[in-house]
A and B are shown apart, each in its own frame.
Chain A
Amino acid sequence: MYNTGLELMELANSKKCKIYEIVIENEVELQGLSREEIILKMKKALEVMKSSAQEALDKEIKSVSGLIGGDAKRFEDYRKNGNTLCGDTVVKAMARALSCSEVNAAMGRIVAAPTAGSCGILPAALITAGEKLNKTEDEIVNALFTASGIGQIIAKNATVSGAEGGCQAECGAAAAMAAAAIVEMAGGTPEMCLNAASIALKNIMGLVCDPIAGLVEAPCAKRNASGVVNALISSELALAGIKSIIPFDEVVEAMYRVGKALPEALRETALGGIAATPTGIKLRKQVLGE
């Protein structure tokens, strides 16, 4: 078992294997299931991820409250027009993240990764990077294990709950997980994976959780879209050999301390941030019928 990023990296280095191998091995031991059964379980998660990343691109989906919906399709249509500023890969990833978030807000089926509120980042990042790098489904499943290893360490030593640590804990953890997973899938070393995860977490350190009306809709969907971009650029930096000056485990601890220091109004209570703006309050009254 590994409790820190350093332990995970040293295990992978000493066995001369990828991070995902260590994570799968640990899971086999933990669950008392065979390696095949564990991999099959993750394949099922990937199937649900794929469908939620696609569903709202094909048709407009409205959230339960009516607050959000239709943006994933709008963005995908915009991409198809071909005049994007950021290029196809980034825009496609953003559209997929929006799709997952909209499906989630409409009570569709998703995979919490690590939470439902941040469920768009990891699927959008891995499906899009997998496409770009010509990776097989098995390789993407392996990358999901890399991601969950990073997530396990963040959950163990910090938190992945918005109520405890703000959005940085949810969308930050998701982006860190995705960044590390992309790096490993692209052939990076365990050290590069941790660098990518550190950079992603640092990029949005301090981000508050301020959902309008307390619902997992706005600004959550757009933060998933920006979260996947964070994952992509962090992996790109790490793949180029750029290091995080602060080691991963210290970044995780810093994120946790920052989360604890956030006032309660900025931790999923809908009492601060954009939720507490005049428009945010008006929408809350409208949606909750207060």
Chain B
Amino acid sequence: MSSLSSFDIIGPIMVGPSSSHTAGAARLGKVAMSIAGGNFKKVIFYLHGSFAKTYRGHGTDRALVAGVLGMETYDDRLKYSLDIAKEKGIEIEFVESDLGDVHPNTVKIVFYKEDGTKFEVVGSSIGGGNIIITEINGDKVEFTGDYPTLIVKQKDVKGMISSVTAILASQNINIATMRVTRRAKGKEALMIIETDAEISEYVLKVIEKVENIISAKAINPVK
């Protein structure tokens, strides 16, 4: 880390017992939920490596569920998240699995939405409560949730990047990092843009109106 804050050392304020297995797990759940959007009736967590081996003792299960319910890492209710999910009628399942050559603390979260669709997010807890999202619905991505993040799905045609970045510039939003991937030439492509300022609903609407943009989503930082 190049700019380590005092509060990276003394912090986070969190529900124990482990910054990677509890706080990081809660953040993974929360970021995944903001990507998937609400309105889900069932969530399956596929736990890999150390997550699979120790999730009960570290409360990783409760932390992940707390996260998808929108709780913060320091929320006292985190401990009771499994019961809270039940009260809300959300079905929860944990599956110990092998997700391949990934970080030992990795989870695949599959949301089953009320409209019958599925939404998959893969992410890892990389230590000290820090996380990284690595896959969204099969598309490889890489972002941390520390910054406001714009996720745009578009057709792989020319001019898409410049139209989106022009909109951001016109709204006075500076880009911190940017990554573009595509499934195949001319098919679907994905832009992950981390910014220094929050992305409003209005900005999303403007981006969505651009021809060949399939969807635009913003995740505001989850600390």
- A residues bordering B, Cβ < 8 Å? 23, 26-27, 30-31, 38, 41-42, 44-45, 48, 63-65, 103-117, 119, 122, 144-145, 147-149, 151-152, 155-156, 160-161, 163, 177, 213-217, 287-289
Contacts and interface: CB of A to CB of B under 8 A. Distances in A.
Given A45-B11, A115-B128, A107 B79 contact: yes
B23 A288 contact: no
Given A30-B3, A149-B6, A152-B4, A116 B57 contact: no
A214 B78 contact: no
Contacts of A147: 9-10
Contacts of A152: 4, 6, 8-9
B14 A110 contact: yes
A57 B65 CA distance: 30
B127 interface: yes
B56 A156 contact: no
B13 A109 contact: yes
Contact of B15 (A108, A155, A215): A108
A44 B76 CA distance: 16
Interface residues of B, number: 35
Interface in B48-77: 50, 53-54, 56-59, 62, 74, 76
B5 A31 contact: yes
A109 B9 contact: no
A64 B17 CA distance: 9
B58 to A, nearest CB: 6
A116 B6 contact: no
B62 A112 contact: no
B19 A288 contact: no
Interface string B1-34: 1011111111111111111001100000000000
Given A41-B7, A45-B7, A105-B17, 10 more contacts: A23-B6, A64-B56, A65-B57, A107-B16, A110-B15, A112-B19, A114-B128, A147-B9, A163-B127, A217-B57
B129 interface: yes
Grouping DSSP codes into helix (H, G, I), strand (E, B) and loop, the A interface class, with mixed when no group exceeds half, is helix
A58 B91 CA distance: 37
Contact of A107 (B4, B53, B54, B59): B59
Contacts of B62: 107
Contacts, number: 137
Contacts of B10: 42, 45, 111-114, 122, 144, 147-148, 151
B57 A215 contact: yes
B22 A107 contact: yes
A119 B46 CA distance: 29
A214 B53 contact: yes
Contacts of B50: 214
5 contacts: A107-B17, A112-B128, A117-B18, A147-B9, A288-B54
Contacts of A111: 10-14
Nearest to A214: B54
Contacts of B1: 155-156
A27 B11 CA distance: 14
Nearest to A111: B13
B24 to A, nearest CB: 10
Contacts of A177: 9
Contacts of A103: 16
3 nearest A-B residue pairs (beta carbon): A104-B16, A151-B9, A148-B6
A182 B134 CA distance: 42
B146 to A, nearest CB: 13
Contacts of B59: 64, 107
A63 B17 contact: yes
A119 B11 contact: no
Nearest to B105: A163
Most chain A beta carbons < 10 A, residue from B15, B62, B78: B15
Given A109-B14, A116-B23, A156-B1, A288 B56 contact: yes
